[in-house]
Structure 1
Amino acid sequence: MNLSKINPLGHLEQKHRTYRTIWISDIHLGSKGSQSEHLLEFLKYNDSEYLYLVGDIIDGWRLTKKWYWPQSHNDVIQKILRKARKGTKVFYIPGNHDEGSRSFIGLTFGDIKIRNQAFHLTAKQKKLWVVHGDMFDHVIQHARWLAYIGDSAYTFLLWINKWFNDLRRFFNLPYWSLSQYLKLKVKKAVSFINAFETLMVKEAHRRGCDGVVCGHIHKSELKEINNLIYANDGDWVESLTALVEHKDGELEIVNWVDLGHEYNLNQSFLKNKQIA
């Protein structure tokens, strides 16, 4: 299994792809940092038998402070519901930003099953534990006030990232996450990520699984730790990534940032600027 392969999807020809499974998380609908237009494009050109929504799909923390819900955010929800109606098996596993949905765990809404966690068996018969991951974040669990302060600082960083990429679009340059670059330059952040990855794999092993699929930390990754699979599907505010399982059971991180789609989005951005 090639666990390190990252594929910037080449959609210049707007080709549809069908996978056995797709995992996405940390969309943060309801926040201005959500890259909903990119996600809509991804959902349009990528189908699967199974679709896992691995937490923080809606950002309740942001919405309780100030309501923000543009049409593109509604379109993402409708697109997912449409996939479920057409036969895709959709599982929604809430995270800390949409923790209110945990009140509905065990129920099914619009053909979408809400679960606290899930266990996925790949085509290669690998048992994967699927969970958001916030319950293994010490700050979230034991210093809630600090988590909210950190969220505000992170929101400011995403605001900088948005304007930085608006400027790049103006010059017809592809998306590049300044916020993620800065975050990964901070030694404490890197140390936290490493500790998180190790803990998640340990918990997966304790549950008798061959690996774990999670989100939460906004850092896509696919690798082996102590002979177990660690997969993080990333996010749709910075990295614009998903984890996919091919028909043969191979796992892969796919990155939606490619010149084809960036060109289309840039042209739309420039057109709107001209109209304004």
Structure 2
Amino acid sequence: MLMSHKKLLTSNFQLLTLKDGAWLIADAHYAHYNTALYDFLSCKDEDLPPQLILMGDIFDLLFGNAPNSIEPNLKMVDLLKSIAKKVEVIYLEGNHDFGLKTIFGDSIKIVPRTKQPLFMSANSKVVALHHGDMMQGIGYEIYTALIRNRWIDRVLNTIDSLRDGKIIDWLERYNRQKKPCYSIDSFENIVSQRLDILEQKFEFDYWVEGHFHQNVQYNFNEKKYCNLPAFACCQSYIVVKLSESGINFIEKKGSP
């Protein structure tokens, strides 16, 4: 049964509708050295879904308060704005892309980390969407709060500008050394423990997240879990299929 609106309000999140045929894309890590998602979406003008949900880390390095991170990504930014004129686009911020309201304005619905999980309804079920960078310890919570602090951002941006973009350049080099494709040992057990904790905080039927790049789905009694494929790794995404039996998350390969 779909939970009552009152229960949703206790978590301060808005209930939206997840549409049949929606695309869920996560962890594309777009950059001038990784244009796979741009190449894919730029060829889909006549074949767009009714709803495009971007699940975070779509960009490898995009901070709304860091001008030097914006200019290299303008081509992709403009493409997403163009797509948003044709279909509904919802963008959940990740740990590589945040502060996006200043970049996209009202053209795209931006869901910051503080407003995640985003609850959506489909077939009388509740789907909770989150980028996935949660429950990673107090150290990570302090770090992620600091890098989103506007005063700290101003100081860093001033230093970055005075040093001709050295900070952004260093972050880019650091990110390029990372390998997006990897396997996490005992991930099913990790997910089971995560859901036990999440069930105590939120009411949901499906939990969907990216961040971990594992591309797996599990059933835990009445709860279903989906970790999205990393587009940067396998150039694939998820298509939502609604049926009488429930909600299916179908992997589809992206190609220009």
Sort the TM-score into its range (normalised by shorter chain).
Answer: 0.5 to 0.7
In structure 2, relative to structure 1, the CA distance for the partners of 1:113 and 1:61 (3 Å cut) is closer
| Aligned equivalents of 2:20, 2:78: Cα separation in 1 | 20
1:133 partner letter:
G
**TM-superposed deviation, 1:76:** 3.8
1:201 partner letter:
L
CA RMSD in angstroms, aligned pairs only: 3.8
**TM-superposed deviation, 1:100:** 3.3
Instruction: Kindly report which structure 2 residues correspond to 1:229-268, keeping only aligned pairs within 5 A, or say none.
Output: 229-248=224-243, 250-256=247-253, 261=255
Could you tell me which residue of structure 2 aligns to residue 121 of structure 1? 121
**TM-superposed deviation, 1:224:** 1.2
CA deviations over 1:46-99 (Å, ceiling 9, x no partner):
4222221111122227998x96977xx65543333223212x222111111113
Could you tell me which residue of structure 2 aligns to residue 134 of structure 1? 133
TM-score, normalisation: structure 2: 0.62
Alpha carbons 1:120, 1:128 under 8 Å: kept? yes
**TM-superposed deviation, 1:212:** 1.0
Could you tell me which residue of structure 1 aligns to residue 94 of structure 2? 95
Could you tell me which residue of structure 1 aligns to residue 82 of structure 2? 82
Alpha carbons 2:214, 2:227 under 8 Å: kept? yes
Could you tell me which residue of structure 2 aligns to residue 194 of structure 1? 188
In structure 2, relative to structure 1, the CA distance for the partners of 1:41 and 1:137 (3 Å cut) is farther
**1:35 pairs with 2:36:** yes
Residue aligned with 2:134, SS: helix
Could you tell me which residue of structure 1 aligns to residue 177 of structure 2? 156
Alpha carbons 1:26, 1:236 under 8 Å: kept? yes
CA deviations over 1:139-164 (Å, ceiling 9, x no partner):
744778xxxxxx97773354xxxxxx
TM-score, normalisation: structure 1: 0.58
Alpha carbons 1:136, 1:199 under 8 Å: kept? no
Unaligned runs of 5+ in 2: 1-18, 145-171
| Aligned equivalents of 2:210, 2:30: Cα separation in 1 | 15
Alpha carbons 1:85, 1:110 under 8 Å: kept? no
Alpha carbons 2:21, 2:51 under 8 Å: kept? yes
Could you tell me which residue of structure 2 aligns to residue 166 of structure 1? none
| Aligned equivalents of 1:111, 1:130: Cα separation in 2 | 20
Alpha carbons 2:228, 2:237 under 8 Å: kept? yes
CA deviations over 1:202-221 (Å, ceiling 9, x no partner):
35533111011111111212
Moved more, 39-48 or 245-254: 39-48
Could you tell me which residue of structure 2 aligns to residue 161 of structure 1? none
| Aligned equivalents of 2:56, 2:48: Cα separation in 1 | 19
2:221 partner letter:
N
Equivalent position to 1:212, from 204, 207, 210? 207
In structure 2, relative to structure 1, the CA distance for the partners of 1:67 and 1:121 (3 Å cut) is closer
| Aligned equivalents of 1:31, 1:135: Cα separation in 2 | 28
CA deviations over 1:92-134 (Å, ceiling 9, x no partner):
1111111333xx49x9724311123211112x22101111111
CA deviations over 1:214-253 (Å, ceiling 9, x no partner):
1111121222123211112222210222122125364223
Q: Percent identity?
A: 21
Could you tell me which residue of structure 1 aligns to residue 57 of structure 2? 56
Alpha carbons 2:81, 2:104 under 8 Å: kept? no
| Aligned equivalents of 1:240, 1:155: Cα separation in 2 | 17
| Aligned equivalents of 2:57, 2:185: Cα separation in 1 | 21
Could you tell me which residue of structure 2 aligns to residue 14 of structure 1? none
Alpha carbons 1:50, 1:89 under 8 Å: kept? yes
In structure 2, relative to structure 1, the CA distance for the partners of 1:69 and 1:240 (3 Å cut) is farther
Runs of at least 4 residues off by over 4 Å = 41-46, 61-64, 66-70, 151-154
| Aligned equivalents of 2:104, 2:77: Cα separation in 1 | 15
Could you tell me which residue of structure 2 aligns to residue 10 of structure 1? none
